[in-house]
Amino acid sequence: MSATGEKPVLPSAPDKPDRGNSRSIESGRGGLLIASCRAGSYLGARFAERCRHLAADACSCDTVDYLGDIDFRFSDSETCVRLEIDAGGKDVFVCQALHTPESQRCVDQNLMSFLIAVRAFREWGARRIIAVLPYLAYARQDNPTRLKREPTTVKLIADLLLESGIDGLITIHPHSKVHGFFGKIPVFSLESLPIFIEEFSRFRARSDVIAVAPDPGAAKFVAEFGRNLEISSAIASKYRPRREEAVVHEIIGDFEGKRTAIILDDMISTGGTIHALVKKLVEERKIEEIYFGVTHNLCISTALEKLIELHSRYNLRGVVTTDSIPQSGSFIGLPFANIRSLSEFMGEIIYKVHYDIPVMEV
């Protein structure tokens, strides 16, 4: 996103190569291998297919291989990774969903599988290993809770990823600024802003629409969204009296003549923040239609219940999220929910990183 507020676009396929250019994508680099652990197979297979289309469009002779479900568990519950093809000399992009709501595997198990997978590729000769983690778990634990003795857990996760052998990281809309935790390796921390701009483009330049940030952490994201759609924005302030409980104290912004609100956030877990904010918008600001866009939906049952209540009683007309986390059947079945696939978006990012094509800041 440019500082001038220029409208971002989804990354486009690279131009067809110039055969006389030394930077042609027909260079002598190793092939492209996209791999996934079991939890990330729904991502990896789609990303590989997108990269194959891009390679065909660019007349590239390079192969795009895919290797899925590379991890399994022994009877004693230990995880093992086994590579069925040779990864020597290849650029390997290892995909994983760290949070899988409908599986028996918790975040920590998915993370361990991923670390072992990276180590397997490192020990068996991969040229470069890029971690593809659309949802970066533990990113919320970037600072100890005030007056509490807690570790900076995201730094521990970064240390583990680095030690396993990654050469770079691709993630989308992490909860905190993660670049500083990963030392000198490149971190492609993508924004979901283009997805929401496209999704809500029908509201462009409408004077009765306002974008709302649920807390100061989302303020910049929502302000850029508002500038691109030429609508005003507001910000809510909240506090947490108890763990995982949110109280919206006030909403700062001009709501004169506003009847529609679009709330954007990076993630929804228990749904406490969105529930409190929507109720306040309806009861105090008399908003008639509310839409909610969130990058990561953790599919927690309490959030599902709150969204259903907000839809039936508090003017919540629609919810838009991505498949950075495999969405549960309950959420997919909501008649007012729209799940946006990251396949094209992140598949093109993988392709560009492989060929060292500059990745647009989004």
Give SS3 for 228. Answer: helix
For strand 71-73 and strand 79-81, is the pairing parallel, antiparallel, or unpaired? antiparallel
Contact 33, 67 (CB under 8 A): yes
CA dist., res. 293 & res. 198, Å (int)? 12
Give SS3 for 299. Answer: coil
The stretches of the chain forming alpha helices (DSSP H) are 41-57, 107-123, 153-164, 193-199, 219-229, 272-285, 301-313, 329-332, 343-354
Token pair, residue 242, equals: 């108890």
Residue 242, exposed/middle/buried by CB under 10 A (0-12, 13-18, 19+)? exposed
Catalytically annotated residue among 90, 238, 280, 352: 238
Instruction: Tell me whether residue 238 is one of the annotated catalytic residues.
Output: yes
Sheet holding 32-36, edge to edge: 64-67, 32-36, 91-95, 128-132, 168-172, 187-190
Catalogue the active-site residues. Answer: 238
